[in-house]
Homo-oligomer: A and B are copies of this chain.
Amino acid sequence: MHREILSLGTPGRGTTELTGRLQSLVAATGVEVGLCHLFLHHTSASLILCENADPTVRRDLEVFFARLAPDGDPLFHHTAEGPDDMPAHVRTVLTQNALTLPVSGGRLDLGTWQGVYLWEHRTGPHRRRLTVTVSG
């Protein structure tokens, strides 16, 4: 079981692709066939598998979630850190913080159009901790 902890800076709300960095990390473990578990230690950012060819997909996801859980929605009472505080928690609960991916041939075995993204839900920049565990 190989474990690595990454510290990732985000520029504020939006997606950052992690696929290349994770592929290098998996390759370095020497595991040929196994599983790679990702865990994000936060409640206002998440991990998604998303179409990796057309950036418009991620733009559309962003506007969809903004319509679903708008910043400043009067429904929310938890506004301690601003109008994007509670929407960030809602978006996180609707997506995922933990993701397990297959490793095959020494690589993450993703579909042709699948990329792994860190999705920052807060509007300001943050530092995010990701634990990667590769077993095989």
CB contact between A76 and one of B34, B60, B76, B90 (< 8 Å): that residue: B60
List the number of copies, as a whole number.
3
* CB of A102 to closest CB in B, whole Å: 5
> A6-14, A20-28, A109-117: which one contacts chain B?
A109-117
Secondary structure of the A contact surface, majority rule? mixed
Name the B residues within 8 Å of A95 (CB-CB): 93-94
* CB of A54 to closest CB in B, whole Å: 6
The reply to whether A75 and B49 form a contact with Cβ atoms under 8 Å apart is no
State the CA gap A50–B93 with chains docked (Å): 7
Q: Does A18 contact B (CB under 8 A)?
A: no
The reply to whether A101 and B98 form a contact with Cβ atoms under 8 Å apart is yes
* CB of A32 to closest CB in B, whole Å: 11
The reply to whether B64 and A111 form a contact with Cβ atoms under 8 Å apart is no
Name the B residues within 8 Å of A68 (CB-CB): 68
Q: List A residues at the B interface (Cβ < 8 Å).
A: 1, 3, 33-35, 37, 39-44, 48-51, 54, 56-57, 59-61, 63-64, 67-69, 75-78, 80, 86, 89-90, 92-102, 104, 109-114, 129, 131, 133, 135-136
